[in-house]
Structure 1
Amino acid sequence: MSDRLTIALDAMGGDQAPRMVLRGANLARKRHPQVEFLVFGREQDVQPYLSKLKKLRQVTTLVHCDDVVSDSEKPSTALRNGRNSSMRQAIQAVRDGKADGVVSAGNTGALMAMSKMVLKMLPGIDRPAIASFFPTQVGESVMLDLGANVQCDAQNLVDFAILGNAFSRTVLGTMEPSYGLLNVGAEERKGHEALWEARDRLKELELPGRFHGFIEGDDIAKGTVDVIVTDGFTGNVALKAAEGTAKLISSYLRSTFKSSIFAQLGYLLARRAMQKLRKRTDPRRYNGAMFLGLNGIAVKSHGGTDPVGFANAIGVAVDLARGGFLDRIRADLGQLDRTAGPARNGNSSAQAVAG
């Protein structure tokens, strides 16, 4: 792999685009000096901000696009009418080999639909999954799916385990990751048939690391496994519940430290510790959800993030590209095809919902 990488950016995606996107790219440039950028967006909107960032301008090529995919646009509408949009053109740069990955803070459903149509799926993978980091008591884990597939069959869950396993090795650096299926209990007969079937298949697969079996909701924060596998419905609920809980605790802490003069004094004494806690739980640190299973690297940034968060999303794309994530997935799937036979490529009847 070449030392240089090119990342395509949808400059028009996000609440504060294009300013946030360009400032984020400038931060990423400092962290990853080997990276160059293809920036897609309306030149009249992007150029005024880019002209103020001299060093970023030196490693950036701006490609004018007239159209923008709005946050409220339906994925089907974006597919029909967004061929000349900044989002679509950025994705096509990956397909055409002009970029090693794409990052957008735009419409999630549209980005998923366009990425799947333009980049296609990896051979042997039926549906893409949204994956993201979770902070745990022992470090970090990855969970998938977080909303792309509301209904999943056993093969979908097995595919997600394969994708998450490779991601953990590539980005988190866990060479022997543990992985488990999120369930309503750890007992053998808890859950539904798709989970039971997926468990039995995963026991037979020779993936790197260790299959833990079933895990429960409290195992997510404990860090019981490195890869948490679930359907998009459950994963999205778990994600939003975790985000809400983090905001609740933050709110409680703020109100508690303001409750009295002694509490304020206590905050001053604990300020350094509180700063460490704030940094550890900063959602910007975990910004950058990956669309795994595509024949290309696509990363979705939170639309409401700031430059720091967007820079972290770019960093995820860089890590995936530099770590040879797609090659690892292809190698894993090839090995499994040889050991598991025709059953690995069984058709799925699960319903996918991008959003």
Structure 2
Amino acid sequence: MGGDVGVRVMLAGAALARHRHDGLRFTLFGDEAQIKSALDSHPNLRAASEVVHAATVVEATDKPSAAIRKKTSSMSMAIAAVKAGDAGAAVSAGNTGALMAMAKVALRTMKGVDRPALAAMLPTLGDNDVVMLDLGANTECDARNLVQFAVMGAAYARIAFDLETPRVRLLNIGTEEMKGTDEIRDAAAMLRKATLPLRFEGFTEGDKIGHGDTDVIVCDGFSGNVALKTAEGTARFVTDVLRRAFTSSIRSKLGFLISKPAMHLLKHHLDPNNHNGAVFLGLNGVVVKSHGNANEKGVANAVHVAARLLEEDITRRIAADMASVESLSTTASHMELPVK
């Protein structure tokens, strides 16, 4: 029931994902009448789906505290299905704050994880995208949180990019060791000293996010959300400026026809639907957040992310990696950190 359009786009996306992965099965939570009506257009999805009526819906304006009390909402029931083992993962395009709160209360954080983080893949100029976290689940983070995010992000990157030791950097206001807050510098010191399944390569700045020279970028949720929204806004700005430029005169229109293949490549690279599907890492279960304005291709991509994480058992992988952080944390208070 989530997203800007709702049932129609969500089911179209699920149907597209079903065509790509014919082994997927779906439990569709929401208004039964609306869902069954929309399923008439997708017989392939209908054959692989169960519809469960939900009496209420979490609205975009609902505060997390209010949303949690909606036990009969489609979002709450979907997460409950994951907790009960009736579903492998939950995918929603609804209220992000409510989804985070519900998932954290129902699924709880994994052993060794203080706070779950919202992670997503952003496009780069390199061979792979970059995993970035946290993107808004935690506005304030200490050094321990950032180290945990680094480990969880690296586990995700190993699955997404098929890497053995992903390159990890902390988002900062500069690359020099003395730059940044105490929390960022302390996290860097811990990551440099630790033996973890990742390669810590120091700091990176906001203008380098898309360079493709790192696999995981770690930050607090406030900075990450601002960076993400800025990147999305810049992408829209560039495409709008180009559209205006190519329609400003007859000569410009002719130029557009010549450069049309390159423009299609640019549009594909910047299209957020091709990178849709943010993951709440650190929970005892898989929950994927689709962007609210995603089209059917974007929703299908979010479902693909959920399926891939289940196939690669992301929860088990993070649990194994967090054991390294636990041993690190027990000695962290005795570490000789850089002098402030």
Does the alignment reach a TM-score above 0.5?
A: yes
Give the CA deviation at 1:54.
1.1
Find 1:41's aligned residue among 12, 24, 30.
Answer: 30
- Of all paired residues, the percent bearing the same amino acid is 47
Find 1:173's aligned residue among 143, 162, 176.
Answer: 162
Distance 1:230 1:293 in 2: 15
Distance 2:229 2:59 in 1: 23
The answer to whether the Cα contact below 8 Å between 2:39 and 2:46 also exists between their aligned partners in 1 is yes
Distance 1:245 1:35 in 2: 36
SS in structure 1 at match of 2:168: strand
Distance 1:68 1:184 in 2: 41
Q: Is residue 201 of structure 1 aligned with residue 190 of structure 2?
A: yes
SS in structure 2 at match of 1:201: helix
The answer to whether the Cα contact below 8 Å between 2:119 and 2:279 also exists between their aligned partners in 1 is yes
Q: Which residue of 2 aligns with 1:113?
A: 101
Stretches of structure 2 lacking an aligned partner (at least 5 in a row)? 335-340
Distance 2:117 2:12 in 1: 28
Distance 2:144 2:329 in 1: 14
Distance 1:164 1:280 in 2: 22
CA offsets per residue over residues 263-315 of structure 1, 9 Å max, x none? 11111111112111111111101111111111110011111111111111111
Stretches of structure 1 lacking an aligned partner (at least 5 in a row)? 1-11, 347-355
Q: Which residue of 2 aligns with 1:284?
A: 273
The answer to whether the Cα contact below 8 Å between 1:288 and 1:299 also exists between their aligned partners in 2 is yes
The answer to whether the Cα contact below 8 Å between 1:171 and 1:323 also exists between their aligned partners in 2 is no
Find 1:275's aligned residue among 260, 264, 268.
Answer: 264
The answer to whether the Cα contact below 8 Å between 1:137 and 1:222 also exists between their aligned partners in 2 is yes
Give the CA deviation at 1:23.
0.6
Distance 2:161 2:82 in 1: 23
Distance 1:248 1:238, change over 3 A: same
Give the CA deviation at 1:63.
0.8
Q: Which residue of 1 aligns with 2:82?
A: 94
Distance 1:15 1:137 in 2: 30
CA offsets per residue over residues 228-260 of structure 1, 9 Å max, x none? 000011111111111111111101111111122
Give the CA deviation at 1:334.
2.2
Q: Is residue 255 of structure 1 aligned with residue 255 of structure 2?
A: no
Distance 2:189 2:83 in 1: 36
Opposite residue 96 of structure 2, the aligned amino acid is T
Distance 1:343 1:122 in 2: 20
Q: Which residue of 1 aligns with 2:92?
A: 104
The answer to whether the Cα contact below 8 Å between 2:121 and 2:130 also exists between their aligned partners in 1 is yes
The answer to whether the Cα contact below 8 Å between 1:124 and 1:344 also exists between their aligned partners in 2 is no
Distance 1:345 1:272 in 2: 56
Find 1:69's aligned residue among 58, 62, 69.
Answer: 58
SS in structure 2 at match of 1:221: coil
Q: Which residue of 1 aligns with 2:123?
A: 135
The answer to whether the Cα contact below 8 Å between 1:206 and 1:336 also exists between their aligned partners in 2 is no
Find 1:25's aligned residue among 14, 32, 38.
Answer: 14
Find 2:229's aligned residue among 234, 240, 250.
Answer: 240
Distance 1:212 1:261 in 2: 49
Q: Which residue of 2 aligns with 1:228?
A: 217
Opposite residue 203 of structure 2, the aligned amino acid is F
Distance 2:11 2:332 in 1: 43
Distance 1:282 1:345, change over 3 A: farther
Opposite residue 192 of structure 1, the aligned amino acid is T
Give the CA deviation at 1:46.
0.9
Distance 1:258 1:341, change over 3 A: closer
SS in structure 2 at match of 1:290: strand
Structure 2 length-normalised TM: 0.95
Q: Is residue 147 of structure 1 aligned with residue 136 of structure 2?
A: yes
Give the CA deviation at 1:127.
0.6
Give the CA deviation at 1:344.
6.8
Give the CA deviation at 1:341.
5.8
Give the CA deviation at 1:71.
0.7
Distance 1:241 1:213 in 2: 23
Distance 2:101 2:198 in 1: 32
**RMSD of aligned alpha carbons:** 1.5
Find 1:187's aligned residue among 173, 176, 192.
Answer: 176
Distance 1:341 1:152, change over 3 A: closer
CA offsets per residue over residues 113-161 of structure 1, 9 Å max, x none? 0000001101010111111111111031011011111111000100100
Q: Which residue of 2 aligns with 1:309?
A: 298
The answer to whether the Cα contact below 8 Å between 1:336 and 1:344 also exists between their aligned partners in 2 is no
